A and B are shown apart, each in its own frame.
Chain A
């Protein structure tokens, strides 16, 4: 068994796929793993994948040509997953995808396809949830600042939605777990940046009317519920507790001015 170790990024995984494929060792004799994950195997040879843009581009070209744009997008979503096995799952899927072509996405009875479908579904659903539940607060300089703590690395999937919707705003969505953020400039583009420390927070003081609107929103949220129909179970099904620490209406703080 030869294990190809690659970095946790889309390009990294694709380079791993390239190396494993072109090593000519046979699909059953190779495995892809992310660096710093899982236990080391006995009797396995570990090879470090060297990342070059050329290798990734070749694999992307092959995916687009043989399997189509939709498969390419699904693979990208899957690569954002939090699962440690994702690199190998992508490799197993690609073996099959290159064989069957674009219709591969429908063949859920094939385990390799189903696994990728599962990763992809989890990531896409979480991205959708984050788009629904992220809350911005307005800072002094008029910047909208939102915090999320997603399980998968989904902030990059949220960015196009908000870039279109809030195109005339300066905004920033911060992933507190991965210490990175998407920032968007008014009428401009967006970019992903790393935030090594918390020093940026000092510059993001809440503006004067922020508490007013937080308070109004809490009022609305409370009054829109019908008392006779109270159903916390149903609320929890739709809005799991893990999202709530970052949502304005579920935060309890003493800063309300009533």
Chain B
């Protein structure tokens, strides 16, 4: 543990010495090991996550702080070039929103947000490149794809989801090889 935290501290010192090329102007409001993030960027990711996993009768991405999980994962698990691509894609996403609605994503209505994100959606039958894939750059698709999967990953592996939405037990204690799906629903609601 000591060794690892030592390495982490070292990485922090080295990371903060480097300037990130794709940071948009704005005062950094969050410091990560490998980059700083400004308020606009924080809001964008949080709004994206909330649009993907919205608050309904159950908690949404903001309630579960899934945006923080997205940033942590990008900080710790993405390589330098992937982080650079992420920020480049983030910038392009902002451009796309401006072009579409002439305002920031955060200022868009729910419907505007959903309409825009739905242009990224693929049906299971769409295995190959779609017109969207050609229209949007690799970095843009990569940025949104990263935010999307990390939001969903963070949600489905959250304590809330695993203890309240599905019946995940630390100690199942048994293996029932013929468990009807309807029982799963009963257990979930009960």
Q: Are these two chains actual partners, yes or no?
A: no
B contact set with A: CB distance below 8 Å: none
A contact set with B: CB distance below 8 Å: none
